[in-house]
Amino acid sequence: MPGIRMTEEARPPRRERVRERQRREMLEAALRLFSEKGYHNVTMHEIAEGAEFAIGTLYKYFKNKEDLYRALLLETADEFHAGILKAIEEKEDEIDKFRNFVRTKAELFRIHLPLIRLYFSETYGESFNLKSGLDSEIRRRHDESLKTLASVFESGMKKRRFKRIADPYSLAIALDGITTAFLFQWIEAPECRPFPEDPDAILDILFKGLADR
Amino acid sequence: MPGIRMTEEARPPRRERVRERQRREMLEAALRLFSEKGYHNVTMHEIAEGAEFAIGTLYKYFKNKEDLYRALLLETADEFHAGILKAIEEKEDEIDKFRNFVRTKAELFRIHLPLIRLYFSETYGESFNLKSGLDSEIRRRHDESLKTLASVFESGMKKRRFKRIADPYSLAIALDGITTAFLFQWIEAPECRPFPEDPDAILDILFKGLADR
Amino acid sequence: MPGIRMTEEARPPRRERVRERQRREMLEAALRLFSEKGYHNVTMHEIAEGAEFAIGTLYKYFKNKEDLYRALLLETADEFHAGILKAIEEKEDEIDKFRNFVRTKAELFRIHLPLIRLYFSETYGESFNLKSGLDSEIRRRHDESLKTLASVFESGMKKRRFKRIADPYSLAIALDGITTAFLFQWIEAPECRPFPEDPDAILDILFKGLADR
Amino acid sequence: MPGIRMTEEARPPRRERVRERQRREMLEAALRLFSEKGYHNVTMHEIAEGAEFAIGTLYKYFKNKEDLYRALLLETADEFHAGILKAIEEKEDEIDKFRNFVRTKAELFRIHLPLIRLYFSETYGESFNLKSGLDSEIRRRHDESLKTLASVFESGMKKRRFKRIADPYSLAIALDGITTAFLFQWIEAPECRPFPEDPDAILDILFKGLADR
DNA sequence: GATGAATGAGTTTTCATTCAT
DNA sequence: GATGAATGAAAACTCATTCAT
């Protein structure tokens, strides 16, 4: 009877899909609550309730609160960094790569704003294990972006498009730092200034040079 | 009996001094513990013990744990910002002002590193009151520095020393952002790179311009 | 269709046999786990897993954890006591009955050691119901053995083989107590002393008398 | 001022006495509840409530439930064994030593009945640490009693008061085992038979010998 | 004014049991 | 009839805060 077989064969993928959906719902509820109230001020019960599951079900998916938090942060960090790397790589021209980096970083900031806030607020302290474990994972990703940016500076210098005013890695730090500074400015007072979508305004600061010769 | 009078008259100032010293000891113990273990992983008992006072005495000075944390952060933020403003103002020449800003910010970062870590790790979340209350206080100070920096850019532009490649406030954000980025880089891997004391390396990035005409 | 009928008629016995085998597997897994970790430290999930059944199936056989524990203990107690009674009854001579009692009790101790340990460790407490219910059942069996032993003393006394140094039931208690004491000694430090298989050594203590006339 | 001094000097002992009294009250409440319902069926909250303290206070005295249980058992075991040893040692004559041993053991059984029940019911399982740790401590005390008894048998044999029907340690096990068997008999059905205070009835079984020559 | 013992609300986590598939 | 995902009551333990001495 093919009907039965099909059902049986189809089962694992469906189970899998249900599991994945439920997991997402839990992570979403957790993120919502964490960003509202901070990691330590959210109870596992609240998360379960927020995701509309029983507390026991929550613990079936994440073996404890820390594990849930880790999953939340790392999975988003992955998405964030994949986006950054893709943005740099998908353009040919160096300037375009920078433009796309700034624009995409801004967009990813906007999308993941709650989690970015959470990261800057709660990473530290949470017992050394969590901190160093998590931080080093995330830092590794960040450093990878910086190195990718640095290689773009390097390649632009080789082609004589950019002056060698500093070593490429420092320039990567600078570009990343300026971008972050503007984005935080926006985060902290989003009503005061428009979301800085225009990468050229940011890039100009690096490219034009203040010195008036 | 004059003895008694003298004691009584002398009391307020001495009392005051003793109180102040004890308060400091408590805040220092708290900072030490907070930066070791994170705000939520330190108990009021530990702080009291660390400062060598009874728990009740601690509560005589700070009405609760949050109040203690607030005091710790705000008082250090004050000191930090006073230092930044003084650094900018104590020089005449615009470039010297920037140089001094970078050098002093680096020095203050070094001195207050534990607390800066704490700020970036624990500020947020702590229930709305704390977050917004504290953050806005600290942001106000930060914004004051940015405006002071902006006024230096403005004055340099008026004197035609700097090109008007962007509005002064944006340049202030950029300078501050680059500096912070380098300092964080140092914080996160202090062994890899030397402490960036040389302001010129940082300023060059802003001043020289990458574009190769 | 006779095939179906046959199947249906054949079913009960086979069903029964399958059920019985599965039940045994569950009880065996439970005993293994209980003796390793203690009643309260074993979960129904572990038992189900150990017996390689789904948790739901386990509950088809035993209506709850207590019921499973009860079944385990009572069924073994039955086996134990049947063994003891048979050992006494299968010999003719009184002394042989005692010898066989001691030897068999030792053997049953060895075989059922895990469960005996479990009984002495977990019987009590388990809420009044379990305690009194279970204990009284087991005590009833124990008392039956004592009475059987007592009747052997009685018969030996009537035949003038034994002196009437105490009432038969007290002597039964004494014989049982000495045997148990030696067996526990062996349980608790099995490496120190050999397993006391020789009933005569034990019986001598009762029979020879210490008093040196 | 001697008044003040005295108060200050007197303080530690009083504090100490209060602590000790409170500790006792907690242990008593715990014993009461444990023997009513079994270790695992009593919550720390119930113990706290039973002792009329807040849960936090209970945890000031015992760092966790296991610690409380350990303290309860070990402290009573000490008292029990000190009593047994004293009973044997305080008499001169060997037979008197045995009489006093039986009588005192019975008395200590009566006094510590709840705890003895608890010991036989809950020792095992409770995670290996507890079991082996506790058990070995208690076994050590038990073995000391057995050795003391054995030395009395030995000395009686040397003086030709007792026949050498078995090695002294085995006789010690036998005497202890008979006594325990009678006491358990009484424990399990206290209404059926009187509390066996008469040591001679028990000793006769060992001394007179059943064999009818 | 200092002290620190006592408090108890609140948190994480476990696990026996049910019931839709 | 078997399955195992989901449930949620209940337990151990912590720690900010109070207040009698």
C-beta of residue D123 within 8 angstroms of C-beta of residue D142 = no
C-beta of residue D205 within 8 angstroms of C-beta of residue C171 = yes
Predicted local confidence at residue A192, as pLDDT:
61
C-beta of residue A30 within 8 angstroms of C-beta of residue A42 = yes
Strand F bases with any atom < 7 A from protein Cβ:
1-20
| Same domain for A205 and A152 | yes
| Same domain for A49 and A143 | no
Predicted local confidence at residue B211, as pLDDT:
67
Q: Is the pLDDT of residue C140 over 70?
A: yes
Distance C54 CA to F7 C1' (A): 17
**Can you tell me whether residue C90 is helix, strand or coil?**
coil
A 16-45, residues with C-beta < 7 Å of strand E: 41-45
Whether C54 CB is under 7 Å from strand F: yes
* Rounded-to-integer distance, Cα C207 and Cα C152, Å: 14
Tell me the per-residue pLDDT of D157-173, one tens digit each, with 9 for 90 and over: 999 888 888 899 999 99
Query: Alpha carbon D74 to chain centroid distance?
Result: 9
Looking at per-residue pLDDT, the higher value among A112 and D7 belongs to A112
| Same domain for D76 and D37 | no
C 145-204, residues with C-beta < 7 Å of strand F: none
First to last CA, chain D: 85
| Same domain for C194 and C183 | yes
| Same domain for C110 and C30 | no
Among A121, A139, A212, the residue with its CB nearest the CB of B125 is A121
A 41-60, residues with C-beta < 7 Å of strand E: 41-45, 55-56, 59
User: Distance (Å) from the C-alpha of residue D143 to the closest C-alpha of chain C?
Assistant: 10
Q: Could you count the other beta carbons within 10 Å of the beta carbon of residue A207?
A: 17
Per the rule left: phi > 0, alpha: psi between -120 and 50, beta: everything else, D127 is left
Residue-level pLDDT, tens digit, chain A, 213 residues? 444 444 444 555 677 788 889 999 999 999 999 888 888 889 999 999 999 999 999 999 999 998 898 899 889 889 999 999 999 999 999 999 999 999 999 999 888 888 887 777 654 444 444 445 557 788 888 999 999 999 999 999 999 888 888 899 999 999 999 999 998 888 776 666 655 667 888 898 988 876 665
Please indicate if any CB of chain B lies within 8 Å of the CB of A132. no
Say if the Cβ atoms of B212 and A160 lie within 8 Å.
Answer: yes
Residues 6+ apart with CB under 8 A from D94: D152, D153, D155, D156, D159, D161, D162
Please indicate if any CB of chain A lies within 8 Å of the CB of B94. no
Distance C41 CA to F1 C1' (A): 30
Among C40, C163, C208, the residue with its CB nearest the CB of D125 is C40
Other chains touching B, judged by 3 or more CB pairs under 8 Å: A
State which of B40, B62, B84 marks the end of a domain: B62
Distances (CA, A) of C50 to C29, C30, C45, C117: 5, 8, 8, 20
Residues of C in contact with D209 (CB under 8 A): 163, 165, 206-211
User: Distance (Å) from the C-alpha of residue B57 to the closest C-alpha of chain A?
Assistant: 26
> In the structure, how many helices (H) and strands (E) does chain C have?
9, 0
Please indicate if any CB of chain B lies within 8 Å of the CB of A103. no
Q: Confidence band (pLDDT; 50, 70, 90) for C122?
A: low
Q: Could you tell me what percent of chain D has a pLDDT over 90? A: 47
| Same domain for A91 and A179 | yes
Q: Confidence band (pLDDT; 50, 70, 90) for D11?
A: low
Residue B8 tokens read as 């009584």
Residue B147 tokens read as 């405006």
State which of D44, D62, D80 marks the end of a domain: D62
Q: Is the pLDDT of residue C131 over 90?
A: no
Please indicate if any CB of chain D lies within 8 Å of the CB of C40. yes
| Same domain for D102 and D69 | yes
Please indicate if any CB of chain A lies within 8 Å of the CB of B180. yes
Q: Could you identify the residue whose CA is nearest to the C1' atom of nucleotide F6?
A: A57
- Closest-approach nucleotide to residue C63, Cα vs C1': E17
Please indicate if any CB of chain A lies within 8 Å of the CB of B139. yes
CATH number at residue B141: 1.10.357.10
Say if the Cβ atoms of C163 and D139 lie within 8 Å.
Answer: no
C-beta of residue B72 within 8 angstroms of C-beta of residue B31 = yes
Domain count across chain B: 2
* Rounded-to-integer distance, Cα A96 and Cα A89, Å: 10
DSSP3 helix / strand / coil % (chain B, rounded to 5): 80, 0, 20
Lowest mean pLDDT among A194-203, D69-78, D173-182: A194-203
Global pTM reads 0.81
* Rounded-to-integer distance, Cα D210 and Cα B183, Å: 94
Please indicate if any CB of chain B lies within 8 Å of the CB of A121. yes
- Closest-approach nucleotide to residue D58, Cα vs C1': E6
Amino acid letter, residue D163 = K
| Same domain for A113 and A146 | yes
Residues of A in contact with B114 (CB under 8 A): none
Distance D70 CA to E4 C1' (A): 27
Q: Confidence band (pLDDT; 50, 70, 90) for C49?
A: very high
Q: Is the pLDDT of residue C29 over 50?
A: yes
- Closest-approach nucleotide to residue C54, Cα vs C1': F3
Q: Could you identify the residue whose CA is nearest to the C1' atom of nucleotide E3?
A: B54
Q: Could you tell me what percent of chain D has a pLDDT over 70? A: 81
| Same domain for C43 and C118 | no
State which of B62, B79, B104 marks the end of a domain: B62
Please indicate if any CB of chain C lies within 8 Å of the CB of D205. yes
Among D41, D201, D208, the residue with its CB nearest the CB of C209 is D208
Residues of D in contact with C211 (CB under 8 A): 162-163, 207-209
| Same domain for C72 and C15 | no
Domain span holding position D58: 1-62
| Same domain for C90 and C194 | yes
Tell me the per-residue pLDDT of C30-43, one tens digit each, with 9 for 90 and over: 999 988 888 888 99
Please indicate if any CB of chain C lies within 8 Å of the CB of D37. yes
CATH number at residue C44: 1.10.10.60
Chains A and D touch (3+ CB pairs under 8 A): no
| Same domain for A119 and A209 | yes
pLDDT along chain B (213 residues), means of 10: 49 76 93 86 92 93 91 90 95 94 92 80 45 68 93 92 90 93 79 67 84 62
Q: How many residues would you count in chain C?
A: 213
Predicted local confidence at residue A194, as pLDDT:
56
Chains B and D touch (3+ CB pairs under 8 A): no
- Closest-approach nucleotide to residue B48, Cα vs C1': E4
Whether C43 CB is under 7 Å from strand E: yes
- Report the alpha-carbon angle D32-D34-D40, nearest 5: 160
Other chains touching D, judged by 3 or more CB pairs under 8 Å: C
Lowest mean pLDDT among B58-62, B187-191, C126-130, D87-91: C126-130
* Alpha-carbon torsion angle C113, C119, C122, C128, nearest 10: 170
Predicted local confidence at residue B60, as pLDDT:
93
Distance B11 CA to E5 C1' (A): 32
Predicted local confidence at residue A100, as pLDDT:
95
